Amino acid sequence: MAETIFSKIIRREIPADILYEDERCLAFRDVNPQAPVHVLVIPREPMESLATAPAEAAGLLGHLLLKAAHVARQEKLESWRTVINTGAEAGQTVFHLHVHVIGGRPLAWPPG
């Protein structure tokens, strides 16, 4: 997998507003928020996207979703949206798998 800005955040080469971290993942505020709360949850293990995630990553993927919910509660959200963009046409701009946690305002459907 190619080097990404998220790899640099994990190594603390680029600063981020980190809200949660453990041995498997890291959660930090998005620098281009689309709502009052916009957090990214990323695996420490390099993984480009859901499209390339191996079957043995199932436990890690579940962990990311549970930590997304943890961060949402930590941010005092009662409702939120979790989004995983997969591929450029779906809006993925950083090719290191990440879960968006978006909330703090009403969210329309369908999304943009």
2-29 pLDDT per residue, tens: 899 999 999 999 999 999 999 999 999 9
Residue 68: is its pLDDT beyond 90?
A: yes
pLDDT at 112: 62
What is the identity of the amino acid at 40? Answer: L
- Cα–Cα distance measured from residue 79 to residue 54, given in angstroms and rounded to the nearest whole number: 30
If we measure between CA atoms, which residue out of 77, 76, 85, 65 comes closest to residue 24? 65
Sign of the CA dihedral with 89 first, then 35, 48, and 62 last: negative
Q: Are 24 and 44 in contact (CB under 8 A)?
A: yes
- pLDDT band of residue 111 (cuts 50, 70, 90) is confident
| Domains of the chain with bracketed CATH | 5-103 (3.30.428.10)
Active site residues: 98
Burial classification of residue 106, based on how many CB atoms lie within 10 Å of its CB (0-12 exposed, 13-18 middle, 19 or more buried): exposed
